[in-house]
Structure formats: C-alpha cells, structure tokens
Structure 1
Amino acid sequence: MKHVEFAAATGYKSSLTLPRAPMLRQDIWKSIPNAEQLADPEDVFALAWRTHRAMSALGLSEKTVEQYTKGGLVIILDRHYDAGTDRYSDKILDRLVGERRLQYEQGQTTRALYQNLRKSAYWLREMHRTGNITVGRIPNWGQREPVEPFQTLLKEFSVSAERTMAKTSLKVARSAVRRFLFELEDHGFSTLSDISPINVNRCVTSFTSHYAGGLGSAISCVRLFLHFLHERGLTATDLSLSLPELVAARKMFHEGFAEDELDRLLAHPDRDTAIGKRDYAMMVLAAQSGLRACDVVRLELGSINWRTREICLTQHKTGEPLSLPLEPESGNAIADYILNGRPDTAIANIFLCHTGVTRPLDARSASAVISRHMKQAGVPAERRAFHALRRTFGTRLLQNEVSLELIQQLLGHRDMNSMKPYLSIDEQGLKMCSLPLLFRGEVGGRR
C-alpha cells in the first residue's frame, strides 16, 4: 500500500510487471455469473451458463442436459481457462471440436462423446451470436473435403450412382469414397495420372484402419468408384481389378422377437399418456406392417386411407412406392394417438416429439424408444431394436407359409437377396426337415 502511495505521489513508474492473477475457474453446476458477467456478451462462463439454462427451457430431459453439460460445456470452459482466457473464442471452439472429431475418426472416442461436444459447441456459438438456442439439425463442423480434382470426381460419381443406388446406400458410398480420396491425398497424390494398382492397394490398406465394421461394403464402394473412373476414360487401366476380394463374411440370421417377448413389449407403454399412445402405435404398426423406422417416422396424416384401410408411402431407403393393408389394431392405435395424444400442430408427420419444440420424430429417436421399452419390460437386447419388429413380421409370414415372393413385396425389397437376411430361423420348421443322426456303425445298414 505504501509503495502505491509513493508511486502516486512521485509519479514514478516501475518497470516491474506484476504477475497476472490466476484465472478464476467457475463451476457451471455451483456458480452463478454476477451482473457484470451477464452484461458482458463475451464472457464465456455467462454464455455457458445461459446455454445450460436454455437446454432445460427447450424441454430436454434432465439426463440429456447433464450429458451435454458434462460432455460439452464443462470441457469447453476448461479449454478456455487452460488457454488463460475467460473471453469467448471461436478459434478455441473450432480447435476443440476438430480434435474430438479426429479422435472419433481414429476410433479413440465414441460417436456419442463427439456428438455431445459438437452439439454443445454449436449451441454455445448460437447463444453468442443470437442470444438463444434452437432445436434442429446441426450442420457439419469443419468437415474435411477432398481437394480438386477429387472433389469434382466425387460429385460426378454421386450423380451417376443416384440412378442405381438407394439414398442410404449412396450415403455409405460417398463416405467410403471420401475416405479413400483422403488416403490418396495423404499419400501425396493430387491427380489420377500417378496412381497405380500398387498405390491403390497401399491406400486401401491404410483405409481399412478406419472401419471396425462394414469394411466389405466400403471396399465394394471404392471398387465401384474406380470402375466408374475407368469407364469415363480417366484411368488407363481398370484400377478396381487391383482390389483384393474379401473372404465371404459370415452370414448372420437376424432374430426377431419371440411371441412372449412381443407381448411384453407391446404391453409396456402406458397408453393413458400421450407418449405411451405414440410409442404403442409405432410398435404395433411396425410389428404388423414390417415398416422400417425411417418409414414409420415419415408417415404423414395423408399416408393413411381410412376408408380402404390402406397405408401408402414412398420408401425412404429405396425410393419405391409401397401400399400395405392397415390392420385393425394398428389403425385403432394410430387413431387413438392422433385424436387423444398428438399435439395440435400443422406438422404433417403423424408421430411427433413430445419434449421441447414440437417436431417430427426421427428414426434414431424411434429406435431409442423401442430400446427403452425393451429394457424396462425385461426383453433382452441381443443386438435388437426397432428393426427387430420388421424381422418379426417377416418371420411370422414365413411360419405361416407365405411365399417368399409375397414376403419380398410386403417388405418392400427390390430383390430376393435383400430380403432373405431379415428372415430368422424357423426353429420348428428346421426340426421337421432334420434327418435322424446315424451312428457310424449303422451307415449303409452295417453295425
């Protein structure tokens, strides 16, 4: 204090730089920003605190808010404090999300952890720019794109593949080809002229490390891309021939639900509540129609002809039209939800989200609904979720000796090979077809 008075009285300015006070790390769970922080639009803690409160105001569950806060906002705050600043920084946000995305792509973290951080960062940025947050699709964050001419080639391949591929298959193909093009770039190739079969194999070998599953499908997509390049006259040889044929994958028979499991599952939703009515209607419809989750959530009020008791839709996966009979139980459940549970809104989709802003339910949420009821009803998961209802439908048709051609039509598949994996093993049918086991000494009538 005496030193300060002396400096003020004499006008003496010391060249000594006093150390900066350590950054105050505020806990979003325990601390509340003061009036000065709330009035400062650049204070990162105040922004994070507002974002945390806005999540609850959107109607997100307490568990969801906790996931986004612990897995996102807290990490973002710590990164700012580690950088020695309490001022909001787009650069810190971009760097953090970029690092987490790279970890996800390299298999060092899960998709859920990456998404929690990415969504929290998006909402924090939105709060900084607009003073509010909204529910909606989060755009890609700093996603890497191929360099030219690879980017143009990818677009041309996608346009060509649209004629023969379903939307979901095209999305898988684009992702696999992008990854392959990144490997070419990382190996020092920026044009097609220097690429040889050996180089293709090297890139594919490195490319495989990014796939814990689905590698065969990814390599098939790359093979299609390389063949496309040759057909366009862009490569002297057909480089697709240089890719090795993979060993045939082990075929899995996908099991649906047993009769008692399906009964427990359908009995679990509380049909006295709006959400219970919705969940029951979705489950009984999927079990009686075999519709995919992506098609169930896209059903609109006009998709059902109540006079003819028929469902008419265009399948999201294949783009093909499909008409199915509406069973009485499904019709009654859907009508009960529409009349007594569905929010009053102009949205055309039948099945809506009941938390936060009213919006159509998406396929991932629908699958989560089934998983939640399975767990609560004591139905073992065993790699089953919404799609198991579709498998159950196919299995019941098979057990009732419906022809495979008709099952194919009802499941909405383009060809027989796409339909067969969805049909689980008919255990009783196999027992009827089985041959008795003969002892070695009885073969040929000799003992």
Structure 2
Amino acid sequence: MELVGTSSREHSAAPLETYIEGFETELIRLGFTPFSTRGQLSLMRHLSRWLQSRGLAVEELTVEVIEVFLRERRASHAALFTFRALKPLLKWLATSGRIAVEAASPRQIQDPPVLIRFEEYLRGERRLKEISVQAQVSRVRRFLNGYTPPGGLRTLSAADVVRALLDEGEGRKPVSVKKFGYVLRSFLRFCFLVGELDRDLTGATLVVRLPQPSLLPIGVSPGQIQTLLDACDRNTSVGKRDYAMVLLLARLGLRAGEVAGLHLEDIDWHHGEFMVRGKGSKDERLPLPDEVGAAIADYLLHARPAAPDLREAFSTVKAPWRGLSSPAVWAIVVRACKRAGMQPFGAHRLRHSLGEAMVRAEVPLAAIGQVLRHDDPVTTANYARVDVTRLRTLAQPWAAEGSPS
C-alpha cells in the first residue's frame, strides 16, 4: 500500500508535535507511570515523523494507514508495535475530534448475517454477559470459516458437523471440545428455528463426556481462608484491594464475575446493602456485613485510583485504569494463595467454603440456596453430601453373603 498525502507541502512540520503536551497531560490523568509516559510519547513522536515523511495530516489517519505504520515499526523496533500500544493515543485523538472514531478501532471482522443474528440472540434473548457472548461467537466463527460447504450454510450436512467436532479434538483438551460442541449445538438449533437450516442438525453434535473424579463441592477450611487474608498486605494498594475481594468471595459467596461486576453505585452505604449483578442478568440485593464493608471502604478511600470515569469498584493498579474481569479475579486469588504458601485454588473454592460452613451449621438447604443464589435446588442439594460424617449415620449395614435380606 503506497501512502502519499494529498497536501504534503502543507504539512512539512511533524503533524503531531503540537499535540504532545496535551497527550502527556492525558497520560498523567490516566495514571501512567513516568516510564510508561515516556514510552507513549516516544511512540507518538515516531508516528508524527512517519506521517511527516509521507506528507500525511493527522486527519488522514485511518485504520489502513495505522496498520502500515505498525508493520514498518515492527520491523525496526522491539516494543510498542501493536494496535494495543497505540490505542491510548488513538483514543485521545478520536475523543478530541482530531481523527475519525473508526480509526481508533482495529479492523472489524466481517461476520455473515446469521452470525450477527446469533450474537444478538445471545445478548438479547439469552442475556449472556459480553465475555460469554464473544467466546461463543468466536467458536461459531471458527466453525463457519472452516467447515461451511461451498454451497453455503443451507447445504451443511451432519457429516460436516461431525468432522468439525473430530477435527476440534486434535491437539485440544476435552474441556475445549466440549465447549465447542455445546456452542455448536446451540447455534445449529438457532439456525433451524429461524429458518437458516431446513433440518435440525443438533443430533450430529457428539456428546463429549469428561472424567468426573467427584461431584462434591470442595471448599477450603476457615483456617486456610484466614491465612489467605493475612497474606494480603493491607499497607499497600494491592493488598487493600485483594483483601476486600477475598472477603466478598469467602464471606458472601460471590462468584468471580459478580465481584468484577460490582460498581460504585451498587453499594448503598446508608442501608448497609449492595446490588449483586448475578448470572443471567439477575440483580439481587444483599446485606453488607461490617467486616466486608469496612474492607471495601478502606480500599475505595485509600487505594483505589482517582479515576472519575471508572465506575467499577475494583480496578487495575497500573494505568490505564480499568475494571477487572472475571479471569482477573481468579488470578488475584491464585496469587494470594502463592503469597500465603498454599496450594493455589480458584475463586469458586471460596464460594464452596461458605456452602460447607452453612451445612456444618445445619442451615436448611433452601436457605443455603437463597444465600448462594442458586436457580436449581439440585445444585444446592450437592452440599448435603459434603458432611460425610453425618451421612455415615444414615448408611445401612451391608448384608453378609447368605444371610436373609
């Protein structure tokens, strides 16, 4: 792609030079460290010189132009050569109206209409969270790109579906194949119901069964939870944040995604309660215990970045500041385990611990289901099998061979 500006004589000066001071101010506002700020300004100056050499103005920055610049920078630099590295500058230029908003986003994949409709269905009808929507769309996109016959989706056969699942199993873990099959089955059913397919192909999706060593929820002991909390250094910003998050997981049984989804406006300090944005877009109010509320307040007042545009309660500690994702919450728990010298486990083990504690306290299963916000009573019933000692009292003696039954 040859890039020559339409008005090179008018842009003899490096076109971004006049914006350097404003961008530096924006980086400081976002909380970039001096080291990161220098890197961003160096990248900006390189882009400015590159535009100047081609006689291009700032307004002529497009996705295509940016891709060419990054490709050339990648050949001569060892760092900051991706779209992500350039995103803070592009976003600031777009917000300021100096470049088109489209230029601040990487080139979008052109999905077929049926996949776009399926994405809207997942988001609107199924009300899945965005991370789940994108994960499912990505798997369906891989299927459509690799296994759609030349005649289009309407000519898809059961053999094509089976081949896709068998190919998916090559070099991938069974859990990955199972997720692929689940999403593919959902997509094929959707296509049949909306008329994209004239026959139901869901029967061609193979059932992938994973080995289940135990169906019992497994938690951790109260002593282990305390060790985990003690490993959070509350004299640091990271420690204050991690301590509050572990308390939410352990004392209230929140899911990782629910902790990540907690917003500032969800906390009602006056009434001592907060809103939980749960699975399936179900919002529920829960009481905020003093211990948990004090930890959250300590973090918000003394450790959380002062970012007016950031509404998530828990955020990253390094700029650019942004809310945490569900995988990030899991990673924080795993790191806390390592600091405590414990065998690492995930955030859900803390939720199971609360369920086990309520079983030991002889809380009725219906009440446990309410606290943990289970949709299905069968899920709660699993906790009835945790107290093995009490279950042994229900066991009947095995009749000896030859004895009357």
Please report the TM-score for the alignment, with normalisation by the length of structure 2. 0.68
Q: Deviations over 1:159-212 (max 9, x none)?
A: 234313522543443232222212224xx4351332222232223322333742
Please tell me the root mean square deviation across aligned C-alpha atoms, in Å: 4.4
In structure 1, how many angstroms separate the alpha carbons of the residues matched to 2:88 and 2:268? 44
Report whether the alignment pairs 1:339 with 2:298: no
In structure 1, how many angstroms separate the alpha carbons of the residues matched to 2:237 and 2:381? 36
Structure 2 alignment gaps of length 5 or more = 1-12, 16-26, 44-64, 94-103
Q: Deviations over 1:202-256 (max 9, x none)?
A: 2332233374223223212212222222223333321222333344652644422
Whether the 8 Å CA contact 1:172–1:218 is kept in 2: the answer is no
User: 1:232 corresponds to which letter in structure 2?
Assistant: V
Structure 1 alignment gaps of length 5 or more = 1-38, 42-53, 74-87, 98-116, 133-138
Q: Which moved more, 1:241-250 or 1:330-339?
A: 241-250
In structure 2, how many angstroms separate the alpha carbons of the residues matched to 1:423 and 1:61? 55
In structure 1, how many angstroms separate the alpha carbons of the residues matched to 2:90 and 2:269? 47
The aligned counterpart of 2:184 is 222
Number of aligned pairs? 342
Greater gyration radius = 1
Report whether the alignment pairs 1:306 with 2:269: yes
Inter-CA distance 272–232: structure 2 relative to 1 (3 Å threshold): closer
In structure 2, how many angstroms separate the alpha carbons of the residues matched to 1:130 and 1:323? 36
Inter-CA distance 226–94: structure 2 relative to 1 (3 Å threshold): farther
Q: Which of 350, 353, 372 is residue 392 of structure 1 equivalent to? A: 353
In structure 1, how many angstroms separate the alpha carbons of the residues matched to 2:241 and 2:339? 17
Q: Deviations over 1:67-118 (max 9, x none)?
A: x9xxxx9xxxxxxxxxxxxxx9945956999xxxxxxxxxxxxxxxxxxx99
Whether the 8 Å CA contact 1:257–1:389 is kept in 2: the answer is yes
Report whether the alignment pairs 1:182 with 2:137: no
1:71-82 superposed matches below 5 A: none
Q: Deviations over 1:32-65 (max 9, x none)?
A: xxxxxxx999xxxxxxxxxxxx9xx965799x9x
Report whether the alignment pairs 1:260 with 2:223: yes
Report whether the alignment pairs 1:274 with 2:237: yes
1:3-402 superposed matches below 5 A: 90=67, 121-123=82-84, 125=86, 145-146=110-111, 151-161=112-122, 162-167=124-129, 168-185=131-148, 188-209=149-170, 211-212=172-173, 213-247=175-209, 250=212, 252=214, 253-315=216-278, 317-346=279-308, 347-381=310-344, 384-402=345-363
Q: CA deviation at 1:374?
A: 0.8
Whether the 8 Å CA contact 1:254–1:423 is kept in 2: the answer is no
Q: CA deviation at 1:122?
A: 2.5
Q: Percent identity?
A: 27
In structure 1, how many angstroms separate the alpha carbons of the residues matched to 2:73 and 2:217? 40
Q: CA deviation at 1:401?
A: 2.8
Whether the 8 Å CA contact 1:94–1:142 is kept in 2: the answer is no
The aligned counterpart of 2:374 is 413
In structure 1, how many angstroms separate the alpha carbons of the residues matched to 2:239 and 2:250? 16
Whether the 8 Å CA contact 1:314–1:320 is kept in 2: the answer is yes
Inter-CA distance 357–145: structure 2 relative to 1 (3 Å threshold): closer
Q: Deviations over 1:261-312 (max 9, x none)?
A: 1110011112233332222111112211111222223323332223332122
Q: Which of 393, 399, 404 is residue 365 of structure 2 equivalent to? A: 404
Inter-CA distance 235–354: structure 2 relative to 1 (3 Å threshold): closer
